[in-house]
Amino acid sequence: MSSETLPAFIESSNVERKQSLSEEQEKSQKPRLGEGFEPISKRQMKKLIKQKQWEEQRELRKQKRKEKRKRKQLERQCQLESNSDGNDRKRIRRDVVHSTLRLIIDCSFDSLMVLKDIKKLHKQIQRCYAENRRALHPVQFYLTSHGGQLKKNMDENDKGWVNWKDIHIKPEHYSEFIKKEDLIYLTSDSPNVLKELDESKAYVIGGLVDHNHHKGLTYKQASDHGIDHAQLPLGNFVKMNSRKVLAINHVFEIILEYLETRDWQEAFFTILPQRKGAVPTDKACASSSHDKNSASVEGGLDSDSSDEENSRNELDSQYEEEKQDKENSSESAVNSIPH
């Protein structure tokens, strides 16, 4: 080999050696099957892409969280400012003045009710408890003779009742721990009408949902035990199209409202549902029928006899009006005939 071709041969051999070395390095860097590396599926590739995007957006998420915290803080501040007029619940709770008046729901009629009525009683007690907790002048709330079907229904459907606050739930009868002279049984059959509430007394509401099957039972029980009794002055302020029977929670809420306003009429019209068709007594249709209705109400509110008498009085008045109209029309007809 000549001296001229020797450098060219050496250079070409060096190039071939470098190419072979680079090919070997590439082969060594590629993952081999069976050496712990497997081909990546499309699903795995998507996961890797999402993971990479999540990492890239970490700072952005952190910034959004900061903005959200600031926005909530501003909302809370605006809420506090808007509630500065006294509508804030916490503010109301601080302004509460507890009444010394004791209000008792007598649950001693458990055996007289079917399960459907027991469930209604439970709902009404729940409403009483909730309203008393929200009231500005909450009463000393007692639930007495608690047991039987009512307790079983509450255990099954309202297990949280054992944690109720500001209520005295007792299995004993109210007469066992409250003096007889302090008791006043609220019953619509009583001839006595309340004028105002005495906060030193304990007022009893009969826990009976019976759809008038046991009419006059609470009045009889109060009379037999020598307990004072009275009815709310409903007939003095309200005239209703429907029967004057009030639910337990309505009586309870009327008393709470009266303790706040000291106005029976306002208490009645705030609490009574619209379906009762209640109107003030001074807007009654006729003064004569109003007097008769008032007399029948004084004889026993919510009684069927008073309702029947009221309906008879209305029919009599309608009959007299129709009779008078006929007489007037006949007289005018006679006068119009030429003589």
- Domain hosting 136: range is 102-276
* Distance set, CA 256 to CA 103, 206, 268 (Å): 10, 17, 11
- Asked whether residue 112 is assigned to any structural domain, the reply reads yes
Query: CA 82 to CA 28: how far, in whole Å?
Result: 72
pLDDT score of 44: 87
Q: Who has greater pLDDT, 140 or 45? A: 140
- Asked whether residue 76 is assigned to any structural domain, the reply reads no
Query: CA angle, 334 as apex, 332 and 335 as ends, to 5°?
Result: 65
Query: CA 104 to CA 107: how far, in whole Å?
Result: 9
pLDDT score of 162: 93
- Asked whether residue 134 is assigned to any structural domain, the reply reads yes
Residue 329 has pLDDT above 50, yes or no: no
Q: Who has greater pLDDT, 161 or 300? A: 161
Residue 143 has pLDDT above 90, yes or no: yes
Helices (H) and strands (E) counted in the chain, each on its own, are 12, 8
Instruction: Determine how many CB atoms are found less than 10 A away from the CB of residue 338.
Output: 3
Give the up-direction half-sphere exposure of residue 171: CA atoms within 13 A in the CB hemisphere: 5
Query: CA 217 to CA 233: how far, in whole Å?
Result: 20
Lowest mean per-residue pLDDT among 10-19, 47-56, 83-92, 101-110: 83-92
- Asked whether residue 74 is assigned to any structural domain, the reply reads no
Share of the chain above pLDDT 70, in %: 64
pLDDT score of 77: 79
Three-class SS of residue 128?
helix
Cβ-count burial of 106 within 10 angstroms (0-12 exposed, 13-18 middle, 19+ buried)?
Answer: buried
- Asked whether residue 217 is assigned to any structural domain, the reply reads yes
Three-class SS of residue 273?
coil
- Asked whether residue 254 is assigned to any structural domain, the reply reads yes
Give the up-direction half-sphere exposure of residue 261: CA atoms within 13 A in the CB hemisphere: 15
- Asked whether residue 253 is assigned to any structural domain, the reply reads yes
Q: Which CATH number does the domain housing residue 172 bear?
A: 3.40.1280.30
Of 243, 250, 284, 291, nearest to 270 (Cα)?
A: 250
pTM (2 d.p.): 0.58
Q: Tell me the sheet residues that pair with 141.
A: 103, 167
Q: Which of 88, 158, 182, 210 is catalytic?
A: 210
Instruction: Determine how many CB atoms are found less than 10 A away from the CB of residue 190.
Output: 21
pLDDT score of 233: 93
Query: CA angle, 239 as apex, 234 and 244 as ends, to 5°?
Result: 60
Confirm whether 210 is a catalytic residue.
yes
pLDDT tens for 7-63 read 555 556 655 665 665 566 555 554 454 455 567 888 888 888 888 888 888 888 788
* Distance set, CA 246 to CA 18, 52, 215 (Å): 105, 68, 14
Residue 295 has pLDDT above 50, yes or no: no
Residues 6+ positions from 80 with CB-CB distance below 8 Å: 88
- Asked whether residue 206 is assigned to any structural domain, the reply reads yes
Number of domains present in the structure of the chain: 1
- Please state the rounded mean pLDDT for residues 62-66: 82
